[in-house]
């Protein structure tokens, strides 16, 4: 069967280039004996709109645009991107590229979705995620080293001068001690660049000192970041003194003002909020613990690495700094089941999946074991109304079970690969059971919802 292509052309004014590029692509395709349909996003609006069916049966997608074109409907398709100018001058080359293109495999698709999400994220969210991502290594190292210390006996670290005591110093005081300052510091760094780092870290340090935990750190980081950002713009010095700004004025004012605001204004309410949260979480038993697990679990699956998922994840990771470990366990388990469940689903009912999907399922299994929830995205993008409810149900059950079993997890990432280490997770057997049950439920629900492919 001859290969079919689809294309989209667009440019800022949409008067000329959109259409010239479209015409050039059509001509070049004709010369190759290839069928192409070109959607133009020009001044008269979208014309020749591509249907879902056309996109599905197309071998590849060409996007020739000088304006932003939404790529979400092309998930899983090889995409050739070019400017309208390139399409006008050299449409034949684009057509050839498109004909030779192969579909991105699952790992590439996941990376592409992540990059696109990052680019689209609003500023405050990006700042928060920058802070979280710099915090993660501290959390991982701290969690694992503390767990190793516990392997010598749960109270072994209390004997001074012993290896378990040193490990506890490194992991607990060292790595965990830096979590909140690093979180706050890099939120501020993301907002205000280098001048934000010192005020942000000190704000986080002050928050941690009074027990305001990650909530105080987040507030402090944003405070420091925006304060320094505006100070930097407001302060205008004569050229000769300009050099004093980054080395003297911004650090002094930034740290001074942020620090005093933290101590006099923010620390107390944030510490109270954090205490309240901690007490509530520690007091959670039975039904309410299960409810929290259901909620966190469903959030993890809802957008697979998107803002809702990251809200649940940030919440759980932040709590590690306050020695609350159950939500972390629930969140990681629930984040593993969507790709694992999709993998199992492709095994149980191969006729409901395309060959590519069955192949992608194998990669998804590895991503799931590694707690990369995004591994389920290609499945969800292809069939959101069946896949997303199914993985939410599975993740919610897993989250609830993990909470009900009282599982505690001391590290924020790593998936199955960190579990064999003693004491990283409590109730290992039950934890594995929670993940397995959610995986099976995900697979069963999605396969009930999905029709057989003709």
Partner 1 sequence: MNIRELLLPELITLDLKARRREEALQELAALLASAGVVTDREAYLQAVRDREALGSTAVGFGIAIPHARSRAVRRAAVAFGRSVQGIDWEGQGGEPVRAVFLLAAPEGADDLHLRALAHLARMLMHEEVRQKLLSASGPDEVLEALG
207 closest CA partner among 177, 234, 229? 177
Query: Considering the rule CB under 8 A, would residue 23 count as an interface residue with partner 1?
Result: yes
CB neighbour list of residue 347: distance below 8 Å, 6 or more residues apart: 361, 443
Considering only 7, 8, 19, 296, the residue that binds partner 1 (CB under 8 A) is 19
Q: For the window 48-67, what string marks contact with partner 1 as x by the rule CB under 8 A?
A: ------------------x-
Cβ distance 396 to 403 under 8 Å? Answer: no
Q: Which stretch binds partner 1 (CB under 8 A): 14-22, 117-125, 358-366, 442-450?
A: 14-22
Q: Smallest gap, in angstroms, from Cβ of residue 74 to partner 1?
A: 24
Query: Considering the rule CB under 8 A, would residue 276 count as an interface residue with partner 1?
Result: no
Structure-token match 């029709």, residue found:
451
Of 11 and 292, the one with the shorter C-beta distance to partner 1 is: 11
Of 66 and 374, the one with the shorter C-beta distance to partner 1 is: 66
Query: Considering the rule CB under 8 A, would residue 68 count as an interface residue with partner 1?
Result: no
Alpha-carbon gap, residue 21 to 91, rounded angstroms? 8
Considering only 6, 8, 37, 40, the residue that binds partner 1 (CB under 8 A) is 40
Considering only 30, 31, 43, 230, the residue that binds partner 1 (CB under 8 A) is 43
Q: Smallest gap, in angstroms, from Cβ of residue 31 to partner 1?
A: 11
Query: Considering the rule CB under 8 A, would residue 37 count as an interface residue with partner 1?
Result: no
Q: Smallest gap, in angstroms, from Cβ of residue 115 to partner 1?
A: 24
Considering only 1, 3, 8, 22, the residue that binds partner 1 (CB under 8 A) is 22
Query: Considering the rule CB under 8 A, would residue 15 count as an interface residue with partner 1?
Result: yes
Q: Which stretch binds partner 1 (CB under 8 A): 40-48, 298-306, 423-431, 436-444?
A: 40-48
Cβ distance 444 to 337 under 8 Å? Answer: no
Query: Considering the rule CB under 8 A, would residue 24 count as an interface residue with partner 1?
Result: yes
Cβ distance 223 to 200 under 8 Å? Answer: no
List the Cα angle 110/129/258 in 5-degree steps. Answer: 170
Of 49 and 56, the one with the shorter C-beta distance to partner 1 is: 49
Of 44 and 163, the one with the shorter C-beta distance to partner 1 is: 44
Task: Compute how many residues bind partner 1; rule: CB under 8 A.
Answer: 21
Beta pairing partners, 61: 6, 79
Number of residues that make up the chain? 454
Of 48 and 285, the one with the shorter C-beta distance to partner 1 is: 48
Alpha-carbon gap, residue 309 to 375, rounded angstroms? 13
Which secondary-structure segment (H or E) carries 6? strand 4-10
Query: Considering the rule CB under 8 A, would residue 141 count as an interface residue with partner 1?
Result: no
Q: Helices marked H in 14-73 — which ranges?
A: 17-32, 52-57
Q: Which stretch binds partner 1 (CB under 8 A): 9-17, 97-105, 115-123, 191-199?
A: 9-17
For the chain, the first-to-last Cα distance in angstroms comes to 18
Residues carrying an active site annotation: 11
Considering only 3, 4, 20, 383, the residue that binds partner 1 (CB under 8 A) is 20
DSSP conformation class of 447: H
Beta pairing partners, 6: 37, 61
Of 40 and 337, the one with the shorter C-beta distance to partner 1 is: 40
> Helix, strand, or coil here: 319?
helix
Query: Considering the rule CB under 8 A, would residue 16 count as an interface residue with partner 1?
Result: yes
Beta pairing partners, 64: 9, 82
Query: Considering the rule CB under 8 A, would residue 259 count as an interface residue with partner 1?
Result: no
Q: For the window 72-111, what string marks contact with partner 1 as x by the rule CB under 8 A?
A: -----------x-x--xx----------------------
Q: Which two tokens stand for residue 159?
A: 């004997």
Q: Smallest gap, in angstroms, from Cβ of residue 116 to partner 1?
A: 23
Q: For the window 329-348, what string marks contact with partner 1 as x by the rule CB under 8 A?
A: --------------------
196 closest CA partner among 244, 246, 239? 246
Of 15 and 237, the one with the shorter C-beta distance to partner 1 is: 15
> How far from chain centre, in Å, is Cα 66?
28
The per-residue DSSP string of 361-424 comes to: HHHHHHHHHTT-GGGGHHHHHHSHHHHHHHHHHHHHHHHHHHHHTT--B--SS-GGGGTTSTTT
Cβ distance 386 to 450 under 8 Å? Answer: yes
Considering only 7, 17, 164, 425, the residue that binds partner 1 (CB under 8 A) is 17
Q: Which stretch binds partner 1 (CB under 8 A): 19-27, 192-200, 359-367, 378-386?
A: 19-27
95 closest CA partner among 34, 19, 8? 34
Residues 374-433 binding partner 1 (CB under 8 A) are none
Q: Residues interacting with partner 1, by CB under 8 A?
A: 12-13, 15-20, 22-24, 27, 40, 42-44, 66, 83, 85, 88-89
């Amino acid at each position: 069967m001859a290969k079919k292509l689809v294309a989209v052309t667009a440019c800022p004014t949409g008067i000329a280039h959109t259409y010239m590029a479209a015409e050039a692509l059509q001509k070049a395709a004709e010369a190759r004996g290839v069928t192409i349909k070109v959607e133009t996003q020009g001044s008269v609006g979208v014309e020749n709109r591509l249907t879902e069916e056309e996109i599905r049966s197309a071998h590849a997608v060409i996007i020739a645009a000088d304006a932003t074109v939404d790529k979400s409907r092309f998930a899983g398709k090889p995409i050739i991107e070019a400017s309208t100018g390139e399409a006008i001058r050299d449409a034949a080359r684009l057509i050839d590229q498109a004909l030779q293109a192969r579909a991105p495999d699952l790992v590439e698709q996941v990376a592409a979705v992540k990059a696109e999400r990052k680019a689209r994220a609003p500023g405050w969210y990006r700042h928060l995620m920058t802070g979280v991502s710099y915090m993660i290594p501290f959390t991982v190292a701290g969690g694992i080293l503390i767990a190793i210390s516990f392997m010598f006996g749960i109270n072994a670290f209390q004997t001074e001068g012993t290896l378990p005591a040193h490990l506890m110093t490194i992991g607990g005081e060292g790595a965990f001690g830096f979590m909140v300052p690093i979180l706050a510091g890099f939120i501020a760094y993301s907002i205000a660049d280098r001048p934000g780092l010192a005020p942000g870290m000190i704000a986080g340090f002050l928050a941690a000192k009074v027990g305001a935990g990650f909530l105080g750190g987040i507030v402090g980081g944003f405070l420091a970041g925006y304060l320094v950002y505006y100070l930097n713009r407001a302060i205008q010095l004569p050229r000769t003194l300009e050099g004093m700004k980054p080395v003297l004025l911004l650090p002094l004012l930034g740290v001074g003002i942020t620090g005093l605001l933290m101590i006099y204004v923010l620390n107390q309410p944030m510490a109270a909020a954090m205490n309240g949260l901690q007490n509530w979480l520690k007091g959670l038993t039975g039904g309410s613990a299960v409810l929290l697990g259901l909620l966190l679990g469903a959030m993890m699956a809802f957008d697979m690495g998107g803002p809702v998922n990251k809200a649940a994840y940030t919440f759980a990771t932040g709590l590690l700094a306050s020695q609350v470990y159950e939500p972390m366990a629930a969140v990681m388990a629930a984040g593993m089941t969507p790709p694992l469940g999709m993998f199992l689903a492709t095994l149980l009912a191969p006729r409901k999946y395309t060959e590519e999907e069955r192949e992608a399922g194998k990669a998804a299994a590895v991503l799931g074991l590694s707690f990369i929830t995004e591994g389920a995205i290609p499945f969800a993008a292809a069939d959101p109304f069946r896949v997303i409810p199914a993985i939410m149900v599975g993740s919610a059950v897993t989250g609830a079970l993990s909470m009900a079993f009282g599982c505690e997890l001391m590290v924020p990432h790593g998936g199955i690969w960190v579990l064999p280490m003693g004491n990283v997770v409590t109730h290992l057997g039950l934890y594995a059971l929670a993940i397995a049950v959610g995986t099976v439920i995900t697979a069963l629900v999605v396969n009930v919802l999905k029709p057989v492919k003709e």
